[in-house]
Amino acid sequence: MQEKILYEYAILRLVPKVEREEFINVGVILFSKKENYLKVKYFINDKRINAFCHELDLNFIDSNLNALSKIAEGLHTESAVSNFGIAERFRWLTAVRSSSLQTSRPHPGKTKDLDKTLEKLFREYVL
């Protein structure tokens, strides 16, 4: 029997107006130190976002989310964070911020398949 893998995940949130503290879930970060796994999956639902705020530059938000995804995989050559170890990158990605892109607290779980779990969490919290 295959042993379950311990993982942590956080929800990526777009906070259109930080002072109002309202947010829209736009992605999921999934991390497993044991499996050396760190991925970001995101989706920008422009209709949902525009219902909150019309002034946002969705292309700018997409480029920032894409950069976070590349940092998670250690592929963002312009960011020194990409050179951090996988656990440090996860902690950096989930650090508390007061910007328009924030994350939930990390939550733990166990799974046999990290990719399937990422998809499940993405469907449950973002789509």
Q: What is the per-residue pLDDT for 51? A: 85
Residue 23: phi, psi to the nearest 5?
-145, 160
Q: What is the per-residue pLDDT for 20? A: 82
Q: What is the per-residue pLDDT for 39? A: 98
pLDDT at 82 over 80: yes
pLDDT at 1 over 70: no
Query: Residue 113 and residue 127: Cα distance in Å, rounded?
Result: 20
- Whether 45 and 52 have beta carbons less than 8 Å apart is answered as no
pLDDT at 108 over 70: yes
Q: What is the per-residue pLDDT for 77? A: 87
What's the rounded mean pLDDT across residues 30-45? 97
Query: Residue 14 and residue 65: Cα distance in Å, rounded?
Result: 10
pTM of the full predicted structure?
0.93
- Whether 26 and 14 have beta carbons less than 8 Å apart is answered as yes
- Whether 89 and 38 have beta carbons less than 8 Å apart is answered as yes
